[in-house]
Amino acid sequence: MTELLVATTNEGKFAEVRAFLKSLPLAIVSLRNLSSWPAVVEDGATFEENALKKARALAEYSGMLTLADDSGLEVAALNGAPGIYSARYAGEEGNDDKNNEKLLRELQGIAEGKRSARFVCALALCAPPRCGLKEWTVRESCEGRIAFELRGQNGFGYDPLFFYPPFGKTFGEIDRETKATVSHRGKALKKLAEMLPCLVDLYTKP
């Protein structure tokens, strides 16, 4: 069975990926299954560049087929910020509370009709050097707006602030399975899952 390394230590992201790909003949592991791994500086100018950089580095290091993502929130009233800096918007990597607090501060006084936002997800799949470092990317997005306060305990990141109009709820108020049917990452993973059988076949051939 082909091993697929998911290049994340974020348990929420890993759970979403594993749930989407569980029907495929893959042994899915996260970085936490490795004894160590290299730090990758995400200094690309786009989500795709950052995802590819992570996927390449960790495919080379692990020797495994590697899936990496870079995702974030783009807020129209903030000229697309926080964008590729979403995870470290408040200055500390992965501090959801501080990131959400800063976003609310930046949007203070902005009317509901001007709080439109989108989540973006770029997935990059990379085969290791022995298979020629083949690469594939997928990009999807989800449109919504930023709520005036945190709502819901589900999800992670900006989910409690991201209001999705068709459901009348934030992503923090819906369960993971429902969110996956409409979210940026869910749509990207669905597309990738449809492609993966062919890609794995290419990957396993010398």
Residues belonging to the active site: 70
Instruction: Tell me the C-alpha distance between 33 and 31, whole Å.
Output: 5
Which DSSP letter does residue 105 get?
A: H
Q: Across-strand partners of 125? A: 67, 136
Residue 143 to residues 115, 159, 162, 164, 206, Cα–Cα distance (Å):
11, 13, 9, 7, 41
Omega of the bond prior to 82 within 30 degrees of 0, cis? yes
